[in-house]
Amino acid sequence: MDYKKTNAPQSTVTRDLVDFDRETGNIYEAVVIASKRSNQIALELKEELKHKLEEFANYSDNLEEIFENREQIEISKFYEKLPKSTLIALQEFLENKLTYRRAE
């Protein structure tokens, strides 16, 4: 999924609890679903960032090159500006974009 095009808010937003338990009927179950999805998103973003930064990996000990790697700094700043994984997961849950199943 392309998390760069999500419409999740950049900062924390007060939510109505009625919206969360509408789908599941249980607020705690909804929170567990959103938190598990948040963990998945965080891992995916971490792996994606890791692969992009590996392209710029420099294994020499030249101190000047470490501080002058502007591309690596720009990529890191871009990922820092993305909404947090929790906010993305909550937005997906509220938009009914998540599929889940109970272990029953």
For the chain, what are the domain ranges?
15-94
pTM: 0.78
pLDDT band at 60 (very low <50, low <70, confident <90, very high): low
Radius of gyration from C-alpha coordinates of the chain? 18
Token couple for 44:
């995916």
pLDDT band at 14 (very low <50, low <70, confident <90, very high): confident
Q: Is 58 left (phi over 0), alpha (psi -120 to 50) or beta?
A: beta
